[in-house]
A = this chain, B = another copy of it.
């Protein structure tokens, strides 16, 4: 099945893909905008682009960074990113933002974030998307990650911006998750969603400097103790570390820990994990496609009405599901 516009699109997709592979930063930025777009007319070109993309030959590492607003994600990424570049890596920084109006990144403004890192030729920083512009957040970020890898960026940082599902969605997008927490006890953890602590591979206590230095060390020890009670992934037991973006203390050690994770897992386990993530993304994509199909069939309001009936206990989930699916799908051929 070809869309009518496909023949003219494919040369354009191939050209854009080869410019990305050649390291053209503006082409990369344009491509990410294309895959993130929710405009229906951008869908076919975006798909053609992803299909035209050569498989990246570099061995990449995808690093998720989660944490509540104010914990110091941007400053840590700047400091850690400059260290990574100093080690010879090419780095890309992307953001997952569930279109929250209280997005920390958007409030600060993209231009003031990571000022030094954004000027480095080996770094590509994608400004966080404006609130409300994104559709299925995690789905598009996965494609943006692959575009950055095709452009030769071997280290990808995916940052959660704002609160919400992004914190738990991030573990489906990356190879390892860094969870940033402030010095202090559990009371300060109000911004962290339930569920994220157990997905953290490295827990980082930030702002370990000045008056907070000692408190940060105690906090890390406490978390290290708590992490011991959580079942580890095969091949990696979660660790808690401290660092300071201000003094640089602990930054080189944190980067070494990240690379130790990559070695500990090994390429086979990491490839298996990525395959599993892709299959999970397929489920999410099918759900999105079906939602779009419901909309096209004029059934969006019908689904909302059924959801209200189910929430009120007037209809069972099973009966509601059968009703909506029967209206959507082609009738099965009678045997």
Residues 247-262 of A, flagged 1 when their CB comes within 8 A of B and 0 if not, give: 0000000000000000
Residues 185-203 of A, flagged 1 when their CB comes within 8 A of B and 0 if not, give: 1100110111101110000
| CB proximity of A32 to chain B, nearest CB, Å | 14
A325 close to B289 (CB less than 8 A): yes
Contacts of A306 in B (CB 8 A): 282
Residues 293-335 of A, flagged 1 when their CB comes within 8 A of B and 0 if not, give: 1001100000000110011110011111111111011101000
Q: How far is the CA of A186 from the CA of B139 in the complex (A)?
A: 35
Does A120 have its Cβ within 8 Å of any Cβ on chain B? no
Q: How far is the CA of A143 from the CA of B317 in the complex (A)?
A: 9
Q: Which stretch (A21-29, A78-86, A219-227) binds chain B?
A: A219-227
A310 close to B282 (CB less than 8 A): yes
Q: How far is the CA of A275 from the CA of B194 in the complex (A)?
A: 20
Place the interface of chain A in its size category: 35 or more
B278 close to A313 (CB less than 8 A): yes
Q: How far is the CA of A221 from the CA of B194 in the complex (A)?
A: 21
A322 close to B289 (CB less than 8 A): yes
A231 close to B317 (CB less than 8 A): no
Does A290 have its Cβ within 8 Å of any Cβ on chain B? yes
A186 in contact with B319 given A311-B279, A325-B286, A330-B330 (CB within 8 Å): no
Contacts of A5 in B (CB 8 A): none
Q: Which 5 A-B pairs have the closest CB atoms?
A: A285-B321, A226-B226, A296-B332, A281-B317, A289-B325
19 sampled A-B residue pairs with Cβ under 8 A:
A46-B318, A47-B318, A50-B318, A139-B318, A143-B316, A185-B228, A222-B225, A222-B229, A225-B225, A226-B229, A275-B312, A279-B307, A279-B310, A284-B317, A285-B317, A286-B290, A286-B325, A293-B325, A329-B329
